[in-house]
Amino acid sequence: MDFIKDIRSQFPILDQEIYGKPLVYFDNAATNQKPLRVIDALDNYYKTINSNIHRGVHLLSQQATGAFEESRKTVQNFINAQYAHEIIFTRGTTESINLVAAAFGKKFLKTGDTVVISTMEHHSNIVPWQMACEAYGAKLKVIPIEETGSIIFEEFEKLLDGSCKIVAITHVSNTLGTVNDIKKIIDMAHNHNIPVMIDGAQSISHIKIDVQELDCDLLCFSSHKMYGPMGVGVLYGKENLLNELPPYQGGGEMIKTVTFEKTTYNELPFKFEAGTPNVGDVIALKEAIDFILSIGYNKIATHEDHLLNYATAQLLKIDKLRIIGTAPYKTSVVSFLLDNIHPYDVGIILDKLGIAVRTGHHCTQPLMDFYKIPGTVRASFAIYNTTQEIDILVEALKKVKIMFE
Ligand SMILES: Cc1ncc(COP(=O)(O)O)c(C=O)c1O
């Protein structure tokens, strides 16, 4: 397809050989690659306007501040938040969730309360909540899933009792590819006046998210999983809720006044942005968003769904290959086991054939326990991947299988 060829030409890293073989990059759920416009934005920032923001009277500081706040507006429009100050810049999804769990826990959790998550959460959406529960005497409750990797909604409903103070759940499973029906989850929780935090780390580059349409209370995602630079994340929160939460970290920027006796805190979004932020990377995130929008989510979904369906069909033709995660609605991730060959061995051999996949538990150990497996091999796709690359993977897996016979 010509348009994919054009897209690939914007990603210089893809045009290289690994051990003498053309690189096939299928580790996109871990991090995806960056188009030139993102790399150039970063380069340009450090060459032309690098300076600290918000408090500078000099021109460079004003320019950097302008570009930084422009990025905030871009994120606001991207997810259709009502206000720019509902967008908090963090280091990534992990920091966004830690912020929510720590601040929400301090304000709202007490002995006997529950926090509801699901079986398919990434450790980033388990451990911060465990820590908050431990600190305030609350309990973590887990929504069970079917063997396919779908939420059991009847069981979810049962957890929405008077003790539940928040539901924190992933939009897309990084291990299974399951796309959870977050609109339904949010509506069900709201029927009981329970707020919902969505982990959007794996959905943001594949699925259009409109926080107002979803009526989502909190949303977390990472720039590096959406063609943007590493080291930047976003926390979106409804204004009223964010205003109720106490600050997460103390330091510069997040204060209004400081005396040795008492500190008063800044307004949103600065209340949650203590210290010097990652200015250059935040500015380059705007380019990543513009890259996604320049293609459009419809085109992205059509291409990636095609890759997912093609990969699923081709992989299932391999004898004794078992796909883990067969929910009816999935995106861009295929996890599998090849006969009884350890996923790590498969990954090592694929690497020597130029194919980058991820192996292991994918930071979802409780999910591996559910399936009673140590890990999987995971191939995950992005807009620049092709069916020819999937053919290369399939042929390579056949070779791996022969080697272990
Ligand atoms: C579903 C999910 N949540 C959270 C994270 C954590 O993201 P980060 O490491 O960018 O903070 C990941 C990363 O793989 C993820 O897949």
* Distance of CA 229 from the midpoint of ligand 1 (Å): 14
Pick the residue whose CA is nearest to atom 16 on ligand 1: 174
Give the separation between CA 198 and CA 283, rounded to whole angstroms: 24
- 374, with CB counted inside 10 A (0-12, 13-18, 19+), is middle
Assigned token pair, 242: 């964010």
Report, as ranges of residue numbers, the positions in the chain whose pLDDT lies below 50.
none
202: Cβ below 6 Å to ligand 1? Answer: yes
* Distance of CA 398 from the midpoint of ligand 1 (Å): 31
Pick the residue whose CA is nearest to atom 9 on ligand 1: 94
Instruction: Supply the residues annotated as catalytic.
Output: 363
Query: Which H or E run includes 189?
Result: helix 182-190
223: Cβ below 6 Å to ligand 1? Answer: no
Q: Which residues of 63-101 are buried (b: 16+ CB within 10 A; e: fewer)?
A: bbbebbbebbebbbebbebeebbbbbbbbbbbbbbbbbb
The atom number, within ligand 1, closest to the CA of 170 reads: 1
Give the separation between CA 207 and CA 228, rounded to whole angstroms: 16
* Distance of CA 297 from the midpoint of ligand 1 (Å): 21
* Distance of CA 224 from the midpoint of ligand 1 (Å): 10
Q: Is the dihedral of CA 237, 170, 4, 357 positive or negative?
A: positive
170: Cβ below 6 Å to ligand 1? Answer: yes
Place of tokens 């959460």: 121
Closest CA to 186 of 162, 158, 154, 218: 218
Beta bridge partners of 356: 25
Structure confidence at residue 1 (pLDDT): 63
The atom number, within ligand 1, closest to the CA of 94 reads: 11
3-class SS of residue 359 = strand
Which residue type occupies 82?
Q
3-class SS of residue 265 = strand
- CA atoms lying within 13 Å on the CB side of residue 324: 28
The whole-model pTM stands at 0.98
Task: Count CB neighbours of 148 within 10 A.
Answer: 13
Give the separation between CA 143 and CA 2, rounded to whole angstroms: 43
Pick the residue whose CA is nearest to atom 15 on ligand 1: 201
**Helix pair 127-136, 93-108: axis angle to 10 deg:** 20
Q: Is the peptide bond before 269 cis (omega within 30 degrees of 0)?
A: yes
Place of tokens 């999987």: 376
Mutate to test the pocket of ligand 1, among 27, 96, 122, 376 (most ligand atoms within 8 A of CB): 122
Give the separation between CA 221 and CA 294, rounded to whole angstroms: 20
* Strand blocks (E) in 124-283: 139-143, 164-170, 196-199, 218-222, 233-237, 255-258, 263-265
* Distance of CA 94 from the midpoint of ligand 1 (Å): 6
273: Cβ below 6 Å to ligand 1? Answer: no
